[in-house]
Amino acid sequence: MSNDGKILADVVKNVHKRLRQEFFKTGDMESVWTNHCKNVSCLKKYASSMHKLATEHWEQLRISNPATSRINWTWSFLQYYFFAGGLQLHRHKSNSDAEWPKLVLKEQKITVLDVGSCYNPFEEYEELDVLSIDLCPAIESVYQCDFLKVTLGMSTVIDGQNVLSLATNQFHCIVFSFLLEYFPSPSQRWTCCEKAHLLLLREGILIIITPDSKAAHSNARVMRSWREALSAIGFKRIKYEKLQHAHCMAFRKNSVEPELNDEDRELLTSKMYIPQDFYYPSDSENDEKDEIKFTEAELAEGFTNLPMFDE
């Protein structure tokens, strides 16, 4: 394994682990998150490590084996849905009422909100009009924004490098690529999904990509649980694929926001779990459990160092 890749992956993994430890110890998500957001040096180190890991290490795998890439998968799904008849097919399948304002592209561009973008991996595609946001951007073309806290309103407001507010019913697509497992609490994951629903145009697409090097069936229950939760707010999963290192899913916004009471919300939130929510993260930097579950090749890529892998 390249030592550089391992060091970078450890930085990423340890931030996730520390957040989970803090949440386990205190049970107070709000203060854990506030303190995390104030820890600028940690956020910056994470951003530069993640950027380097993705562009210098994972990119090599993308070149040698394009079918492993979450970026390629997303782009190919978006082409199918917006340019090759997918939208029309799913409109027909959903028996939608004719009253829906039809989803149209502006100047043949798909408006994308990439949440937790880090280094703007989708900017390479001309057909995408991407607004990339991150808690701590790794590069200038990504705007600073805490998606958990940002207000949603009538318009998107950007002040310098900061996004202050996001307009509802505006985006054709929202991307959560390796985002949800960053959060130590299911309620934060659920907040993100509810916000995505409000921000998307009807018939728009939420892409969720979550890391996992194991066979598809080993975390099938988790993926099914997420699908059930999202379906309750009008997201229909229309595509699922297990890549070598990730679950890739596309959810279509089929309906407007349903009325949910506190009880519904609590149940749906609990469905947004990940396996590591249920155990205390060990302090050991080189937990043996991590090592034995994966092949040499996976370890070499550093993929095992993202959370879904170290349950």
Ligand X SMILES: C[S@@+](CC[C@H](N)C(=O)[O-])C[C@H]1O[C@@H](n2cnc3c(N)ncnc32)[C@H](O)[C@@H]1O
The tokens 């960053």 sit on which residue?
Answer: 182
Q: Tell me the closest approach of the beta carbon of residue 184 to ligand X, in angstroms.
A: 11
Q: Looking at beta carbons only, is 33 or 235 nearer to ligand X?
A: 33
Residues in the site for ligand X, rule: CB under 6 A? Answer: 47, 50, 54, 115-118, 133-136, 145-148, 177-179, 182
Q: Looking at beta carbons only, is 51 or 253 nearer to ligand X?
A: 51
Q: Tell me the closest approach of the beta carbon of residue 211 to ligand X, in angstroms.
A: 8
Q: Looking at beta carbons only, is 37 or 232 nearer to ligand X?
A: 37
DSSP for 102-169? PP--BTTBEEEEEET-SS-TTTT-TTEEEEEEESS-SSTTSEE--TTT-EEESS-EEETTEEEEEESS
CA of 89: how far to CAs of 83, 96, 238, in Å?
12, 11, 11
Q: Rounded to an integer, what distance in angstroms lies between the CA atom of residue 297 and that of residue 280?
A: 27
Q: Looking at beta carbons only, is 150 or 229 nearer to ligand X?
A: 150
| Residue number closest to ligand X, CB atom | 116
Q: Tell me the closest approach of the beta carbon of residue 135 to ligand X, in angstroms.
A: 4
Q: What is the CA radius of gyration of the chain?
A: 19
- Phi first, then psi: give them for residue 258, nearest 5 degrees: -80, 160
Question: Is 116 marked as a binding-site residue?
Answer: yes
Q: Tell me the closest approach of the beta carbon of residue 101 to ligand X, in angstroms.
A: 29
Binding residue ranges: 116, 134
User: Residues at the annotated binding site for S-adenosyl-L-methionine?
Assistant: 116, 134
